[in-house]
Amino acid sequence: MEAEVLIVGAGPVGLTLAVELARYGVTVRIVDKAAQRSDKSKALAVWSRTLELLDRSGCAATLVAAGKQVAAANIVAGGKTIGRVELGGVKSPHPYALMLPQSETERLLEAHLNGLGVQVERGLKLVRFTDRADSVTATLRHYDGSEEKIQSQWLVGCDGAHSAVRDGMRMVFTGDTPPCTWVLAEVRLQGLRNPGEIEVGWHADGMLAIFPIAGERYQVIADMGPSQTAEGQPDPALSDVQALLDKRGRGGVRASEPGWLTKFRVNERKVENYRRGHVFLAGDAAHVYSPAGAQGMNTGMQDAFNLAWKLALVCRGICQEEPLLDGYSSERSEVGEQVLKTTGRIASLALVHGDLKQTMRNYIASLVFGFSPARSAMADTISEVSIEYPHSPMNVQGSKFFQHPAAGERVPMREGEAPIGAGDRPRFVLCADISEVTARSAAAVLVGLYGQLAEETVRAPFGEGGMWLVRPDGYVALVTRAGEWDDVAAYLDRLARRR
């Protein structure tokens, strides 16, 4: 076997997966058909939950140092702010949106990966693969046309929206391509009312979103209304961008020094199942969204975090394949479905046509935005801290008595503590409301029984009388009463590999 895991595609999702697997000691190969890394800004926003997970990988700090922290997003209609979502109240060590061009995110992830001893193999295109009983054989084509076969235990398609892996799995990519062309422009902007913040303009002609990059540089995205194809249409010029800002924005904003100017189409699609046999899909290969919610890259990177610890536990021979590996598909497919709905809603709100409908939308939106719990809920949704796995087949809610965090919920991050899941071993951590001594000796017995699956360190509990088993990605696996060691043992026993 040449690699335990072959990753196809070195975009942000493939790189995140490679970083996670490499830190857990899994042998990976990661290939990309492109000769060089992309230099395009595309996804700018790295949201709070993604940064929390990157903290575990040890690379959040590097990204944070390179990016720009943005504290709020404003919704503007008719030249007025009708809503403002503050991210400072998000309960996370990263209560902001980190603005970092996708090209930089990829560069920093790749540097981190190189530090873990793995190099991206570029100019290697997956052309086909065969999934056998216990491994996958992939055929890769070099630039000179020569072909190479790689045998791996697992194959993960992180190869983007036009995924060859998805085609090879014969997965249907269900959804729509709305008949609308979008433009993207990187420009210098002067005269903004809230410089350094995100601004989303709702206008009768369509939406206009402004994302800060650094200093006075911004990314402007706008939909250009119905059209059957973006093919043959010219890329926007600076004068087009200025016209959009004048018509759809608050006015008084001047665009200059254009960088990347382009147009694109949006797809809203998803596969139903993220796994078939030894082959998985993650990121845009599994789901694509409207850019209106800026969620695509973040959701994809979180697919990678979810899959990595499960594959690592299986590759290390600590866990059997089920329910972990099918759990990846059911957990992330449900999240993918929710994000599809949320970004679809955001897009359809922004793209309402007709004067009366727009007046009503603006009126209702200003009422909703005026309501503080609604603003907090929106901040939690876009920052992705509200992503949870309430219906996961891996959850065990041993006691209804302890409501939060319930099985499937994200555990609160604690000031000054290393995040659960950091380090080089994927392991479950016990948080128990019993004396340290009792807990430690009981946990030691469990560790003895379940090898490296459970962590001996006992952390403070989340409530009186309860006991929580937390997964390597910081979600609650099991909740039970303090001292119910049989529940913990039964949970770990279900995962542990039979010897």
Ligand X SMILES: Cc1cc2nc3c(=O)[nH]c(=O)nc-3n(C[C@H](O)[C@H](O)[C@H](O)COP(=O)(O)OP(=O)(O)OC[C@H]3O[C@@H](n4cnc5c(N)ncnc54)[C@H](O)[C@@H]3O)c2cc1C
State in Å, rounded, how far the first CA of the chain is from the last one: 22
Interacting span for ligand X (CB under 6 A) from 5-13, 226-234, 413-421, 430-438 = 5-13
Instruction: Name which position in 30, 43, 351, 430 contacts ligand X (CB under 6 A).
Output: 43
Q: How far is the CB of 53 from ligand X (least distance, A)?
A: 13
Interacting span for ligand X (CB under 6 A) from 27-35, 335-343, 417-425, 435-443 = 27-35
Instruction: Name which position in 284, 409, 473, 487 contacts ligand X (CB under 6 A).
Output: 284
With respect to ligand X, which residue has the nearer C-beta, 40 or 497? Answer: 40
Q: How far apart are CA 499 and CA 481, in angstroms?
A: 29
Q: How are beta strands 268-270 and 287-288 bridged, if at all?
A: antiparallel
Q: How are beta strands 206-214 and 261-265 bridged, if at all?
A: unpaired
Q: How far is the CB of 54 from ligand X (least distance, A)?
A: 13
Q: How are beta strands 279-281 and 147-157 bridged, if at all?
A: parallel
Q: How far is the CB of 47 from ligand X (least distance, A)?
A: 7
Q: Quick check: 73 binds ligand X (CB under 6 A)?
A: no
Residue 63, Cα to own-chain centre: how many angstroms?
15
Binding mask 140-169 for ligand X (x = CB under 6 A): ------------------xxx---x-----
Residue labelled with tokens 């071993």 = 425
Q: Quick check: 265 binds ligand X (CB under 6 A)?
A: no
Instruction: Name which position in 27, 34, 193, 276 contacts ligand X (CB under 6 A).
Output: 34
**Closest to 186 measured CA to CA, from 264, 292, 260, 294:** 260
Q: How far is the CB of 485 from ligand X (least distance, A)?
A: 41
With respect to ligand X, which residue has the nearer C-beta, 164 or 482? Answer: 164
Instruction: Name which position in 4, 17, 22, 42 contacts ligand X (CB under 6 A).
Output: 42
Q: Quick check: 296 binds ligand X (CB under 6 A)?
A: yes
Binding to ligand X (CB under 6 A) within 178-217 occurs at: 184
With respect to ligand X, which residue has the nearer C-beta, 347 or 470? Answer: 347
Q: How far is the CB of 319 from ligand X (least distance, A)?
A: 26
Interacting span for ligand X (CB under 6 A) from 51-59, 202-210, 294-302, 349-357 = 294-302
Q: How far apart are CA 140 and CA 133, in angstroms?
A: 20
With respect to ligand X, which residue has the nearer C-beta, 171 or 313? Answer: 171
With respect to ligand X, which residue has the nearer C-beta, 107 or 494? Answer: 107
- Count the site residues for ligand X by CB under 6 A: 33
Residue labelled with tokens 């209304």 = 225
Instruction: Name which position in 83, 95, 101, 283 contacts ligand X (CB under 6 A).
Output: 283
**Closest to 129 measured CA to CA, from 183, 167, 172, 95:** 167
Binding to ligand X (CB under 6 A) within 74-113 occurs at: 102
Instruction: Name which position in 5, 19, 30, 31 contacts ligand X (CB under 6 A).
Output: 31
Q: Quick check: 325 binds ligand X (CB under 6 A)?
A: no
Q: Quick check: 45 binds ligand X (CB under 6 A)?
A: yes
With respect to ligand X, which residue has the nearer C-beta, 67 or 300? Answer: 300
- How much is the CA Rg of the chain, to the nearest whole Å? 23
Q: How far is the CB of 291 from ligand X (least distance, A)?
A: 4
Q: Quick check: 291 binds ligand X (CB under 6 A)?
A: yes
8 A C-beta contact, residue 297 and residue 339: no
Q: How far is the CB of 85 from ligand X (least distance, A)?
A: 15
Binding mask 419-448 for ligand X (x = CB under 6 A): ------------------------------
Distant-in-sequence, close-in-space partners of 328: CB < 8 Å, separation ≥ 6? 274, 275, 280, 306, 307, 310
Binding to ligand X (CB under 6 A) within 115-134 occurs at: 125-126
Binding site for ligand X (CB under 6 A): 8-14, 31-34, 42-45, 102, 125-126, 158-160, 164, 184, 264, 283-284, 291, 294-298, 300
